Structure 1
């Protein structure tokens, strides 16, 4: 059987890890990237392989676009050696960082770091990988509920995510002739280690999120991975250029 292959950036932990495990359980082979946590990435790969799937983990600094050509060549080789394939089917631009700073106190270095990791990186990585992405493929870019609602301290972060949402519509338009869909998935507040694990570990913050969410709780990583899976399966084949918020109805 010709299994589909998904590339997930930032797959060693948090949402990316959960996406990798969930999609593997759905019969999709996984290529994951990690920044520096090779041991954690390898454990994810081992878990996938123990479940009967195939996985390949590759190092990548999404914030350094000068490395993307070499990464694409490494990915091409890995596809052939590990999966016997020339290309991949799904690209999930998930890797990211969180910087919390009031607008008046945001430093230029913080802004540039967010720009490189959250916007420039996905933009040019996707460009570099287009020759390896199969026709009829799918792209999912991860945004944030903060691009819709506003909370103090996230002006720069949310600005980058807002730009990702505009860029995604252009991807959908320009890649449509190849049958490739491109969509944004925007999580709300999720219980992960992102941002130091505040939503997961801070009871007061968790309660605040739950009180302002229609479904009455903070999100879980599996809520997001299930939404990604929906976009990659037949249920998402006629959805493109859309922003889909998976927040449980936060701040409606």
Structure 2
């Protein structure tokens, strides 16, 4: 049976890898994000790559920090697909990356980055999930949030880690609420994942790369496919008894050396 898979933040990085993983198994994938050009390029490339498997990726631009946009996405999904089998909330990021120098200074700066990281990482996941909740396949539906190792050990500025940590109790509550419908809810918490905009696309080099790799037990950086494979498993029949879990994908780095 062909599944309908919805992936927020599907244009790049982990979200793109998740789209590719499901397209490779013949799913009909809907990639959501704010950058229409990036989404369209990803959808075209992945659809062409996985045509033989029957997979298709369609772009659906939306700003998921807005309730009306999340509702519009739900209405379109319902009209085109009827139900959603898998929802992966991968949208997010740390607004302090690339911010002007001094943007986080003082109470005004703190208010800005705490509010914006909450919007980018929590609201995008919560609003899309709550909008799509009525059309999640029951039984058999799967919901996965993308958290971060920062939720366990901090991010250096607080707001990004705090935003990701906020997803964890939401996972627990949602799993309890949707469990009777046969729907599982989990999260993955990646560590250092190279080849993403979050960590930079310049390649495996530099002191920061060496430091982050040294904190792992596996001796390497993660790649988006590591996370996508875990998400794919959580959404498989084999994981039907796995729910309300936060699965870490960080090479053991959360445990430290």
Q: What's the TM-score once normalised by structure 1's chain length? A: 0.89
The equivalent position to 1:150 in structure 2, one of 151, 154, 166, is: 154
Residue 99 (str. 1) matches residue 101 (str. 2): no
Match of 2:61 in 1: 59
The equivalent position to 2:123 in structure 1, one of 103, 120, 123, is: 120
Distance in 2 separating the partners of 1:48 and 1:151? 32
Verify the 8 A CA contact 1:172 1:181 in the aligned structure 2. Answer: yes
Distance 1:194 1:9, change over 3 A: same
Distance in 2 separating the partners of 1:179 and 1:77? 23
Distance in 2 separating the partners of 1:114 and 1:139? 21
Match of 2:188 in 1: 185
| Structure 2 SS opposite 1:140 | strand
Distance in 2 separating the partners of 1:201 and 1:34? 27
Distance in 1 separating the partners of 2:251 and 2:165? 20
CA RMSD of aligned residues (A): 2.0
Distance 1:202 1:35, change over 3 A: farther
Residue 208 (str. 1) matches residue 211 (str. 2): yes
Distance 1:142 1:7, change over 3 A: same
Distance 1:117 1:251, change over 3 A: closer
1:201 Cα shift? 5.6
Q: How does 1:234-245 map to 2 (within 5 A)?
A: 234-245=237-248
Verify the 8 A CA contact 2:5 2:28 in the aligned structure 1. Answer: yes
| Structure 2 SS opposite 1:47 | helix
The equivalent position to 1:39 in structure 2, one of 29, 33, 37, is: 37
Q: Residue deviations 1:44-77, cap 9 Å, x none? A: 2223322221222101112222322222112222
Q: Which runs of 4+ in 1 moved over 6 A?
A: 101-104
Gapped regions of structure 1 (runs ≥ 5): 80-85
Q: What's the TM-score once normalised by structure 2's chain length? A: 0.88
| Structure 2 SS opposite 1:123 | helix
Q: Residue deviations 1:73-118, cap 9 Å, x none? A: 1222232xxxxxx111000011002133898755212211111121
1:248 Cα shift? 0.8
Alignment length (residue pairs): 243
Verify the 8 A CA contact 1:191 1:199 in the aligned structure 2. Answer: no
Verify the 8 A CA contact 1:15 1:192 in the aligned structure 2. Answer: no
Match of 1:83 in 2: none
Verify the 8 A CA contact 2:152 2:254 in the aligned structure 1. Answer: no
1:17 Cα shift? 0.7
Q: Residue deviations 1:185-237, cap 9 Å, x none? A: 00001113333617846521111011110000111111111111111112211
The equivalent position to 1:48 in structure 2, one of 43, 46, 49, is: 46
Q: Residue deviations 1:126-151, cap 9 Å, x none? A: 11111211112000001000111234
Gapped regions of structure 2 (runs ≥ 5): none
| Structure 1 SS opposite 2:94 | coil
| Structure 1 SS opposite 2:198 | helix
The equivalent position to 1:138 in structure 2, one of 142, 145, 151, is: 142
